[in-house]
Amino acid sequence: FDALKEKLQNVKKGWLGLGSLFAPGKKIDESFWDGLEEQLLLGDVGVDLTDELVAELRQEAKKSNIKDASALKEKFVDLIVRKLEEIPGMGKPIETKNKPAVVLLVGVNGSGKTTTAAKLASKFTSEGKKVLLAAADTYRAAAIDQLKVWGEKIGVRVVAHDVGGDPAAVIYDAIESAVASDADLVISDTAGRLHTKHNLMEELKKVKRVVERRLPEEPSESLLVLDAVMGQNAFYQAEVFNEALSLTGVILAKYDNTAKGGIILAVAQRMSLPIRYVGLGEGSEDLELFEPRSFVEALLS
């Protein structure tokens, strides 16, 4: 928990106001509620959810007759955690029971897909799983190369074709290779050029179809990698990908780069999608499973 707290130091900036709002001895009056609302909005929680949280906390304070803000802090943490946990799959790790499990990482270019693929591969490798990476972003030579560099660094094999190849063929190969070598997990990078949105979605759907046909018994995962810095602008993208692929969750990358910690709440609520992992840096170890309570407590401490 301390390590997580330390890693979240940067992010905490956006929530500092909240910490002092809930200071011992601070009275709960109208200026408290105004301050809370302001801090939530500044932290990118979003208007609707801010209203909802403030209203529910007000009710709680009244019901339990709480007069001191510090006594309300725990209720606030509980309230946020409850909201997050209402969404099925929140904080759930990738399931590697089925062999091979397949995870497609999707998202716009620059969101952090390639890096996240490497981080996940590194995480599961260190847990003793056999992992394969698939370079299914066949449009960018740089993306293929970047994944290969990561693969070498973390000691994970990368299945790649030449630039311009068919991404569906890459994933097919990767699965064949995983089956042949008894691998536990295939993690696939994918393309993310959103200017050709329609084509991209058709391409990704085809990749997903290939996975489902090859492994009909085993549910694959399609996880959207979102750049936390995008703030409220992320939702439109998320909708497009979700419509095409029925996403099974979100990985929030670059959380270390935003001062607006509340994006976690907004993402979960606006998209009704579970957050599964959070990226906290550029290194292969900088990925944490999203545990709602640890995160919320660390942010408010």
Q: Which residue is nearest to ligand GDP (CB)?
A: 279
Q: Is 261 in the site for ligand GDP (CB under 6 A)?
A: no
Q: How far is the CB of 284 from ligand GDP (least distance, A)?
A: 11
**Of residues 157, 254, 260, 276, which one binds ligand GDP by CB under 6 A?**
254
Q: Kindly determine how many residues on this chain lie close enough to bind ligand GDP according to the rule CB under 6 A.
A: 19
Q: Is 114 in the site for ligand GDP (CB under 6 A)?
A: yes
Nearest CB to ligand GDP, comparing residues 7 and 130: 7
| Dihedral angle, C-alpha 144, 256, 252, 48, nearest 10 ° | -150
What part of residues 4-33 is at the interface with ligand GDP (CB under 6 A)? none
Nearest CB to ligand GDP, comparing residues 137 and 184: 137
255: which residues sit within 8 A by CB, 6+ positions away? 11, 228, 261, 263, 264, 278, 279, 280
DSSP H helix total and E strand total for the chain: 13, 8
Which segment (55-63, 104-112, 158-166, 207-215) binds ligand GDP by CB under 6 A?
A: 104-112
Which DSSP state fits 162? Answer: -
180 labelled as ligand-binding?
A: no
Distance between CA atoms of residues 78 and 75, nearest Å: 5
Q: Is 110 in the site for ligand GDP (CB under 6 A)?
A: yes
Q: Is 115 in the site for ligand GDP (CB under 6 A)?
A: yes
Q: Is 285 in the site for ligand GDP (CB under 6 A)?
A: no
Q: What are the contacts of 3-9 at 24+ separation with CB within 8 A?
A: 4/288, 4/294, 4/295, 4/298, 5/298, 5/301, 7/256, 7/280, 7/281, 7/286, 7/288, 8/261, 8/280, 8/295, 8/298, 8/299
Q: What are the contacts of 57-61 at 24+ separation with CB within 8 A?
A: 58/33, 61/28
Q: Is 258 in the site for ligand GDP (CB under 6 A)?
A: no
Whether residue 203 contacts residue 209, with contact meaning beta carbons closer than 8 Å, is answered with: no
* Residue the block writes with tokens 């409220």: 232
By C-alpha distance, which of 80, 124, 24, 71 is closest to 294?
80
Q: Is 274 in the site for ligand GDP (CB under 6 A)?
A: no
> One symbol per residue from 163 to 202: x for binding ligand GDP (CB under 6 A), - otherwise; what is it?
-----------------------------x----------
Q: Is 91 in the site for ligand GDP (CB under 6 A)?
A: no
Q: Is 122 in the site for ligand GDP (CB under 6 A)?
A: no
| Residues found near ligand GDP in the complex (CB under 6 A) | 107, 109-115, 143, 192, 253-254, 256-257, 279-282, 286
Binding residues for GTP: 107-114, 189-193
